[in-house]
Chains A and B, each alone.
Chain A
Amino acid sequence: MTDTTTNNRTEIRPAGPDASAGFSLKSFFRSPAAGAFMGFVAVFVLFSIFGYSRNFLSVPGMTTWMNFASIIGMIAIPVGFLMIAGELDISTGAVVPASTMTVAIVSQHYEMPVMVGIAAALAIGALIGFVNGFIVTRTRVPSFIVTLATLFAVAGLTLYLSIFFINNTNSFYNAPDWAKSLFGGKVWGFNSSVFWWLGMIAGFIFFLHYSPKGSWVFALGGDQESARNAGIPVNGLKIWLFVLCSTSAAFAGVLQVITFSSATSQANFGLIFNTIISVVVGGVLLTGGFGTVMGIVFGVLTLSIVTQAIGFTNIDRNLSFLIIGVMLLIAVLMNDTFRQLATSWSTAKKK
């Protein structure tokens, strides 16, 4: 007893100035984004060295991986939200082709205005998300299995309906000029999707880290029972997050079909891996409750550099998968270290 009282007296200290500052180096290093940022810097420096003679640092070099990152990134961030909330969504690999085919069928084949095609694609995305969220919240089936089922169901339905409507599993779409420049244009080699992604990052950061409801997402993954007891609408929030994820994937599909003028109904399994790798490399805890938008952004950028820009370096192309594998392992191992650093941070400061 006497021990604790003396401790108390010596340890009463006002919170340091960094405790109230919006951003500080200290708070950055105990955030889950720190590891992702350092991984990004390491890969960027490595590629700059090995790619100096092959124009890795040139504008075409940069646009190659940035354009790729923007599409992966606008899906990876809401996938990351779900992982923070303790859920997983792998149906995105079917939502993107469903969305591209919807735009092509509605706006090319049936000659409806482009906005109708886009609205239809987004609505289909939202509906798939709602179905995912509804099943996950009403049953006790893990979201991995639920979204695995919807992945195949939606992929199959997309193929079937494509044949049904246009008798072809692939299609094309030439958007009017204004839509082309808004959704599928290029500025200095950067696709429109890059700018859309930047805007979405700002929105996502605001939602998760600044808006009052951001905490709820973390609480869901931290302790769902307590979150419900604290009055958080657990089911509603979860459904909403699934809708956000699928709608974002559908929007990525819209940007793709308008940018490349072509649509395919083949499920994109690579996309599933890419989004989940980005989220994990970005420092989001696999079991939920911990993560940042900026971490995911760095995860996406790192993955994009390694897979897309390896051709601009002297590194053998075939090594890119090896690098990704090693990075993923390091990230998962580091996650634990960073989490411990974060929880013990304040006590360590006082010693």
Chain B
Amino acid sequence: MSDAKPVLELRNVDKSFGPIEVLNDISLKVGAGEVLCLLGDNGAGKSTLIKLMSGVHQPTRGDILMDGAPITFASPRDAQERGIATVHQFGGTYPLMSVGRNFFMGSEPTKGFGPFKVFDRKRANSIAVAEVQKMGITRITDGDRLVGGLSGGERQSLAIARAVYFGARVLILDEPTAALGVKQAAHVLRIVNQAKRRGLAVIFITHQVMHAMAVGDHFAVLIRGAVASDFRKGEKTREQIADLMAGGESMVELEANIDGYMETHGGHPPPPAH
């Protein structure tokens, strides 16, 4: 799209956990104002890949570059301080803490001075509630409410709202729409587009072709830890993308199998083939 240096780039990155090789020779880049959709089957290595970019893991081999310069994220905090905000696939909220404290975990707003700085509860709560409401979660009106009392989707929205609020350069979302209702998912897609227009680089993982096509500028498909396909918007059809996401198998055939099976077996889906 632009010739400017990509905000974040991976060059020939490998990642293994002991003897288990998870990622193999990954090269990817994402620029400002661009949405990179990471697609792939379960266990393909998508979450592991974004954990390299958010400082949770370090690559076994290869380089990570930010604004064209090689960089090492020593810790998640290190990546955050460079403006990379991540919503991980699991967790991200603390059930027995309030909405306000959850939202600002690790970057608490304070008032007062010197050693007497205190957590600014009022400000934290009002910002948290306002940001969560922007995600279409209008039921949350009280920042003192404990997150354990929220629904799964509400919690996920809280985690996304938090990342959107703190992400200055890069926004990484690992299956953000997985737990969301139709309306909230639409809000998330809208927010992704807004972030993109603000000039953020966005990395978006999803298993839903529709969601990927709605926001993606650039698509990368992982199959068993390697980039199997890397293409731009409009270069492939919906069906081709769906097939790639299924790990290279033809979705039409898979779906036909299910339909045929279910017709002859009283509506039961087939057992997994392995």
Contact = CB atoms under 8 A, between A and B. Distances in A.
Interface stretch (A6-14, A146-154, A322-330): A6-14
Nearest to B97: A218
A342 B91 CA distance: 20
Contact of B76 (A19, A228, A290): A228
Interface residues of B, number: 43
B106 to A, nearest CB: 4
B110 A12 contact: no
B96 A218 contact: yes
A53 interface: no
Interface stretch (B135-143, B218-226, B241-249, B257-265): B135-143
B70 interface: no
Interface string A15-33: 1100110000001000000
Interface string A205-228: 010001111111011001101111
A226 B148 contact: no
B107 interface: yes
A347 B147 CA distance: 12
A39 B183 CA distance: 47
A344 interface: yes
B96 A285 contact: yes
Contacts of A233: 75, 77
Given A1-B182, A215-B97, A230-B106, A7 B144 contact: no
Interface string B160-192: 000000000000000000000111000000000
B149 interface: yes
A211 B106 contact: no
B213 interface: no
Interface in B181-213: 181-183
Chain A, interface SS category: helix
A231 B143 CA distance: 22
Contacts of B139: 7-8, 11
Interface of B: 54, 56, 75-77, 80-81, 86, 88, 91-97, 101, 104-110, 117-119, 122, 125, 129, 138-139, 141-146, 148-149, 181-183
Sorted nearest first, the 8 A-B pairs with minimum C-beta distance are A231-B77, A222-B94, A212-B108, A226-B91, A343-B148, A346-B145, A230-B106, A343-B149
24 contacts: A8-B139, A20-B125, A206-B118, A210-B119, A211-B119, A212-B109, A212-B110, A215-B101, A215-B104, A215-B105, A216-B106, A218-B97, A222-B95, A223-B94, A226-B94, A227-B94, A227-B106, A229-B56, A229-B92, A231-B76, A232-B105, A339-B148, A343-B95, A344-B149
